[in-house]
Amino acid sequence: MRIAFYAPLKPPSHPTPSGDRRVARLLAEALRHAGHTVEIASKFRSRAAMPDPAALERLRATGVRLAYRMVERTGTLLPEHRPDLWFTYHLYYKAPDWLGPAVSKALGIPYVVAEASHAPKRADGPWAKNHEAVEAAIRQADLVVGLNPDDAACLAPLLKPGARTLELKPFLDPAPFSEAAADRKQRRAVLAKRLSLDPDQPWLLTVAMMRAGDKEASYRVLAEALAHVTDRAWQLLVVGDGEAQRAVELGFASMDKRVRFVPSVAPDALPDYYGAADLFVWPAVNEAIGMAILEAQASGLPAVAGGGRGVPGVVEHGRTGLLTPVGDVDAFAEAVAAMLDDPAQRAAMSAAATARVAQVHSIDGAAERLGTALADLSSAPQSTT
């Protein structure tokens, strides 16, 4: 099957690393693992940071024009080169899908959405037209793939008769992470020398972009929590950068001798950091999925994380890590202290995390489930309602 893949928030080819880009790439790769041909339908970004009416209308008009051109261009292709299915990843009121619904309807092909978010509170106000577009797209979808269980309740009333749903756990290819963990001693020695770290002290690790808003709030909670456990031996590695970097660094100023900041590194270098560390720490304020936490778990890293939104789907509390109430500095500090004080618990959680990723979060498992869902979809008659 030829699949037209589209990510309105950020295309898979975007140069700036992020969890969203990571998930888009993984979904495209899982579809390829399932035996499909995946082509990026468009790099058009429909996201608007602010609800400026003129800017929103320009984005909508651009999307309409692009959809029309796609349909026109597709009509000139041989049947074997036309898409058999449209797959949109991550649409919400700030980044609606102006392309997929129109193109799939015109071509008479199934329309699939993954990680769609419906926010009824946006029905009135400056985002109303974008909200309507997202709602219309969800109502048209033949298959809705859920990556975050939090979204399901708001999506269910919108599904058309005969529409299918697939709950898919966040996933990745665990191989590079497990390989790095297996070579932990050597990789730890290299990083210890490069970053002037003590290999005999516990290493805490955070991997996250430094953006204003939820990311900066998470860093703030982390800094305040770690300030409560300075009576223990630990060092912190922070991998990430962004426009809020200065504010983040200031938050850790009182602990500067313990903290090492590393600018964002290439994805293929990240396993070295996961594999060398002892504990992943991230307060996860409003974290939709937590791909960095999943990468840590694939590397055998137990995690202390804020337990909101999609994070409990990645960390099994008490087995692969500890979850705390989001934003609760004292609870987060207590969880970090408990993990630092109990190396045996960390070791048990490390083994459990590796096993759980292999069993529940592997790209092979995701590809199998996606392949089955799309096969069922392509064999069913398509509704036009």
Q: Domain map of the chain by residue range?
A: 2-171+363-379, 175-360
Looking at residue 266, what is its pLDDT? 84
Contact between residue 110 and residue 28 where contact means Cβ atoms under 8 Å apart:
no
Q: What is the pLDDT of residue 384?
A: 45
Instruction: Look at residue 380 in the predicted model and tell me its pLDDT.
Output: 55
Six token digits for residue 147: 């990556």
pLDDT surpassing 60 at residue 385: no
Answer for the pair 166, 374: CB distance below 8 angstroms, yes or no. Answer: no
Q: Is 120 exposed, middle or buried (0-12, 13-18, 19+ CB in 10 A)?
A: exposed
- 368-384 mean pLDDT: 77
107: pLDDT confidence band, cut at 50, 70 and 90? very high
Does the structure show a pLDDT above 60 at 183? Answer: yes
Q: What residues contact 354, with CB distance under 8 A and at least 6 apart?
A: 174, 178, 181, 297, 298, 299, 300
Arithmetic mean of pLDDT, 207-212: 93
250-305: pLDDT as tens digits:
999 999 899 999 987 888 899 999 999 999 999 999 988 889 999 999 999 999 99
Structure confidence at residue 94 as a pLDDT band (50, 70, 90): very high
**To which H or E segment does residue 89 belong?**
strand 85-91
Beta bridge mates, 116? 91
Q: Is the sign of the CA dihedral 97, 115, 220, 308 positive or negative?
A: positive
Residues 329-350: tens digit of each pLDDT: 999 999 999 999 999 999 999 9
**H/E element holding 70?**
helix 53-74
CA 303-151-87 angle, to 5 degrees, is 100
What pLDDT sits at residue 16?
A: 82
In the prediction, which pLDDT does 85 show?
96
Amino acid identity for residue 241 in this structure:
D
Distance CA 10, CA 94 (A): 12
How deeply is 228 buried, as exposed, middle or buried, from its count of CB atoms within 10 A (0-12, 13-18, 19+)?
Answer: middle
What confidence score (pLDDT) does residue 35 get? 95
- For residue 379, what pLDDT is reported? 58
Tens-digit pLDDT profile for residues 135-175: 999 999 999 999 887 788 889 999 999 999 999 999 999 99
Phi, psi of 284 (to 5 degrees): 55, 55
pLDDT band at 119 (very low <50, low <70, confident <90, very high): confident
At 18, the pLDDT band (50, 70, 90 cuts) reads: confident
Mean pLDDT of the chain: 93
**Predicted confidence (pLDDT) at residue 31 exceeds the cutoff of 60:** yes
**CATH 3.30.2290.10 given to domain 2-171+363-379:** no
Range picked from 72-76, 109-113, 378-382 for highest mean pLDDT: 109-113
C-alpha distances (whole Å) from 31 to each of 28, 80, 250, 292 are 5, 18, 43, 21
Phi and psi angles of residue 253, each rounded to the nearest 5 degrees, phi first: -60, -40
Per-residue pLDDT band at 381 (split at 50, 70, 90): low
Q: How confident is the model at residue 76 (pLDDT cuts 50, 70, 90)?
A: confident
User: Could you tell me the two tokens for 182?
Assistant: 């297996």
Beta strand ranges found along 269-333 (DSSP E): 279-282, 303-306, 321-324
Q: Report whether 103 contacts 70 (CB < 8 A).
A: yes
Please answer whether residues 96 and 134 qualify as being in contact, where contact means their C-beta atoms are separated by less than 8 angstroms.
Answer: yes
The widest CA-to-CA distance across the chain, in whole angstroms, is 70
DSSP class of 76: T
| pLDDT value at residue 377 | 85
Q: Select 175-360's CATH number: 3.90.1150.10, 3.30.565.10, 2.60.40.1180, 3.40.50.2000.
A: 3.40.50.2000
Query: Alpha-carbon distance 182 to 137, whole Å?
Result: 45
Looking at residue 289, what is its pLDDT? Answer: 83
67 pLDDT band (50/70/90 cuts)?
A: very high
**For the residues 7-36, what does the mean pLDDT come to?**
92
CA dist list (Å): 296 to 98, 216, 222, 278, 302:
35, 20, 17, 10, 7
